[in-house]
Structure 1
């Protein structure tokens, strides 16, 4: 867990909020437990905000400002921090959060998700981009997979693939066939399920782009892709919007048995 000594309020707005919250609380002689009661949460939430482990939520900022007569100090700070793209919360990157997650939910529109890629499929994907060191890139991806699937207690993993993923050739036919076979093998694990959204589903909310939902430390966060790199989303309201989108995609995806049949049929394309 990050401590106050590891925070840098001169560089990070979220760190500044964490440090300022503790300063304001102590100046008033308010305990962490008392502050937790004020915002209607558990004591551990206050500790995690002050240590920089989680960001302060806007509704908590508004309550604190009102109770302590701070004239919207924390409300303004939280809003400003959320608008600064160069000052992300101290979450670490997606890989770090996947390695800690107890539940992973993914929707992919065009490629097999990185966590499910075979080495040859990953190499073919990287070869199409601007990666200079293919061996390092592939190994990094395999290490990312091992951190998730190689744990003693791996997370529950639910994946929904757009039909394009199965029909879009990546590398030679043997690479695609091996990759699809790998999806079937993963789908046999008790903690993994792979479903397919078939072509006849028509236009749906999934076309807004890929998404990933992670449950980390009993709270959900999301990852949204973007043209120049994705970003982690932590605000509960925003995360809920991703959850709704994932659920809507799931409502129209094929069930497990039918999805396996679709993947097996797609393998025949790559003889």
Structure 2
């Protein structure tokens, strides 16, 4: 069974969109290449839309609505898909992460996944009660960090609260190694870690962690939650998170001052 045939239009709004792209095309007796000509996309891209592997953009759906006289059906469906909850959101997020040009991360009380050591990642998972997933999930996190080693690695800007440095996740040895990792990162011109000091007091990040990504000229974001999270693809919400990141950044220490604080904290774990 092909990926397209496995699409259940009732599974999510994105699945419904993928199904309708296939259904409307085949009802008109059109090939993938012919539909691609309408939306100015390659045959393979259209195939990936119908299989749910890639997501179309506004101009693609507008072109289909005009060509097929659907009264804005695809544009509306795309809008609702972006606004609603997608059970497969994390799979899509990782794809965006791999293709990102710029990643901005705010994490409050924990070191972000992309710069965790494996031991720290395992300790976080244990403390979260995810004992059955520790080995597999920690390996998956390390694999995601591969994007930082690419020749065209993204620019990554990280903001963490001072509490993330001081919370003894996994014990002294684990934290000492994690602090060392943060210091090593300082040698990478594409990866900047800055610390929001405790003296900054309450700030806009206290209601949850989030990340924004620039992918092929467009902005997407992820907002965390206690159970799961949410992928955000609407312009207003991503713009709002971008402003929030800048507001938090205005309270953070400089890169050098952050490094000094990390070194100071590392000594407490000796």
Q: Do both share a fold (TM > 0.5)?
A: yes
Cα distance change, pair 44–197 in 1 and its aligned pair in 2 (3 A):
farther
**For the residues of structure 1 that align with 2:68 and 2:264, how far apart are their CA atoms?**
63
**For the residues of structure 2 that align with 1:107 and 1:46, how far apart are their CA atoms?**
38
Specify the alignment match of 1:14 in structure 2.
17
Q: Give 3-state SS (helix, strand or coil) of 2:243's partner.
A: helix
**For the residues of structure 2 that align with 1:154 and 1:61, how far apart are their CA atoms?**
31
**For the residues of structure 2 that align with 1:93 and 1:60, how far apart are their CA atoms?**
19
Specify the alignment match of 1:209 in structure 2.
208
Unaligned runs of 5+ in 1: 37-42
RMSD: 3.4
**For the residues of structure 1 that align with 2:202 and 2:55, how far apart are their CA atoms?**
36
**For the residues of structure 1 that align with 2:178 and 2:158, how far apart are their CA atoms?**
15
What TM-score do you get using the length of structure 2 for normalisation?
Answer: 0.78
Q: Give 3-state SS (helix, strand or coil) of 1:111's partner.
A: coil
Does 1:168 pair with 2:167?
yes
Specify the alignment match of 1:136 in structure 2.
136
**For the residues of structure 1 that align with 2:173 and 2:184, how far apart are their CA atoms?**
16
**1:61-72 equivalences in 2 (<5 Å):** 70-72=70-72
**1:1-271 equivalences in 2 (<5 Å):** 8=7, 10-11=9-10, 12-19=15-22, 43-44=40-41, 51-52=48-49, 53-57=54-58, 70-82=70-82, 84-86=84-86, 92-133=91-132, 134-145=134-145, 147-271=146-270
Cα distance change, pair 77–96 in 1 and its aligned pair in 2 (3 A):
closer
CA contact (8 A) 1:13 1:87 kept: no
Task: Deviation per CA, 1:63-122: give whole Å up to 9, x if none.
Answer: 976897644533543344345424657x83433332222222111001001111112211
Shift of 1:187: 1.7
CA contact (8 A) 1:25 1:31 kept: no
CA contact (8 A) 1:7 1:15 kept: no
**For the residues of structure 1 that align with 2:253 and 2:85, how far apart are their CA atoms?**
37
What TM-score do you get using the length of structure 1 for normalisation?
Answer: 0.78
> When the two structures are aligned, how many residues end up with a matched partner?
257
Unaligned runs of 5+ in 2: none
**For the residues of structure 1 that align with 2:43 and 2:242, how far apart are their CA atoms?**
25
Shift of 1:231: 2.5
CA contact (8 A) 2:82 2:232 kept: no
